[in-house]
Amino acid sequence: KLEKEYDLICVGGGIMSATLALITKLLKPEMNVLILEKLDKVAQESSAAWNNAGTGHSALCELNYCPEKDGEVSIKKAVDICTQYETSKQFWSFLTEKGLLDNPEDFIASVKHHSWVLGIDNADYLESRFKEMKDHFMFNSIEFTREIDKMKEWFPLIANDRTKDEIMAASRIDRGTEMNYGVLTEKLFHILETEFNTPVHCNMEVLDIDPDTDLDWTVEIKNLKTQEELQLEAEHVFIGAGGGSLLLLQKVEIEEKEGYGGFPVSGEWLVCTNEEIIKQHNAKVYSKAGLGDPPMSTPHLDTRYIDGKKQLM
């Protein structure tokens, strides 16, 4: 049964709401937290394993985090991104040590991260990035090569049929991970429900969020099963509704929403089902997008672990 007032309402049943709600209850168990999800299960959209690349966004292989300007490569954003991911890993380790999070191998696995480029300009860029990263303690295990034989060792499915006259370069960091955020999200929500009596209320659509004169926010919701509409009060509201976040934010009557926009981005995985081919690849291999192109425009070849199986996409 829903109450009238909450300290925190989290909109969306994905990894962001799960993380924020759990940190909140760990630090202040007395806080009254409500989690709302429009669908009938959690982790069905952006957090689902089939809907993201599972790199953890650790900046070990994603080249868009290391822009080049006037011949110099900056790794500042990569350091910031990697720091955030390492902090996340520390949080999951804390939960595991406390006995709250079981079987971490269900959602995280060791998979080496690689960057691979074609052409002399891109190869020079990758070497410059390597030199910058090598001097930083977060990336000092990075390796670099222009040798085709080494690339055949690192990622044979990509390199085997290529010739030595092709200009290529690659880097590798062996401490990369493969993340199944769908499984992790389910585990975090399980902790919230069993340890803190904070379940996710599914089939609940948030229609509007507005500032309130008494408390801070009024949240209008609709039960999609009963069609009943309710108004709730909250001191804090977190919108973590994936693709629906911007549409909801546009309804919020605050000045900070101005200037935000979005456009639809779509992508599809090509999934390999040949077990003999899957066995030949144990890596995440990313390349470099063209000048002015979005990062998603460049294909990458990923080892994944989904539904208890090793996958290749």
Look at residue 215 and tell me whether its pLDDT is greater than 70: no
144-178 pLDDT, tens digit each = 999 999 999 999 999 999 999 999 999 999 999 99
Q: Which of 21-30, 138-147, 255-264, 274-283 has the lowest mean pLDDT?
A: 255-264
Look at residue 297 and tell me whether its pLDDT is greater than 80: no
253-272 pLDDT, tens digit each = 788 878 877 776 677 789 99
- Dist. CA 96–CA 101, nearest whole Å: 5
In b/e form, how buried is each residue of 166-203, taking b as 16+ CB within 10 angstroms? eebbbbbbeebbbbbbbbbbbbbbbbbeeebebebebe
SS3 string, 108-131, reads EEECEEEEEEECHHHHHHHHHHHH
Q: Is the pTM of this model over 0.85?
A: yes
CA atoms within 13 A on the CB side of 125: 24
What integer is the mean pLDDT of 45-53? 88
CB 125 within 8 A of CB 68: yes
Look at residue 283 and tell me whether its pLDDT is greater than 80: yes
